[in-house]
Amino acid sequence: MEMSGMDMGGMDMGDGGMDMNMSCSSSMLWNWNIMNICPVSDQWHIKSHGAFAGTVIGVFFIVVAVETVRRFGREYDRKIVNDYRKSQADAGNVAPDVDAKGDIGPAPVLVGTGQLKPFRPTFTQQLIRSLVYFVQFSATYIVMLIAMTFNGYLLFAIFFGGGFGYLVSSWDTVGLVEDTDKSSSGCCC
């Protein structure tokens, strides 16, 4: 069929005014690209060295923030349990083990028979716990999408951000050890 006589009605099949050298590059292989990277979407298009440096620094701090939110979740869980144990101690249900800071110690929540009593947070407490998890999960998912650029600089920003975030955010109590320091027990011997 002859199409040489067809008029395309003035349709321009051009590039839409976009410079093809400025399009996002996507590589599913390890790379060290700096320019024309779109980590999550084409709205996050890195077109300059400054934008790339800002992205690397930003990714580092996003991962640090994930670790900080994770720490906040642990602290909030401890607060919920301590508040419950204090309320039970005030009601006379358990004898509290209070440390120097006024925090209830690590003893389990007990019923008079020495059995562990199940504890369930209130709806509001669980809602706050869920919001903390939502923030943590969402940020982690975005970090995973950034990692899928396979860009070495961004991957190392994620690795170092995770390591640094863990260093500063996980410096809480790991476990319990026997206190062998007799001077802190109040005993003079």
Nearest to 169 by CA among 136, 125, 126: 136
At 189, list the tokens.
Answer: 């011997």
For residue 36, the number of C-alpha atoms closer than 13 Å in the C-beta half-sphere is 9
| Average pLDDT estimate for 52-73 | 97
* 140-150 tens-digit pLDDT: 999 999 999 99
Whether the Cβ atoms of residue 154 and residue 59 lie closer than 8 Å to each other: yes
* pLDDT of res. 9: 53
pLDDT-based confidence at residue 187 (cuts at 50, 70, 90): low
Say how far residue 35 (Cα) sits from the centre of its chain.
27
Predicted confidence (pLDDT) at residue 16 exceeds the cutoff of 60: no
Q: Give the global pTM.
A: 0.71
| Domain map (residue ranges) of the chain | 49-88+109-170
One-letter amino acid identity for 8? M
Backbone angles phi, psi at 46, to 5 degrees: -85, 115
**How many beta carbons lie within 10 A of that of residue 137, not counting itself?**
12
* pLDDT of res. 121: 95
Backbone angles phi, psi at 164, to 5 degrees: -70, -40
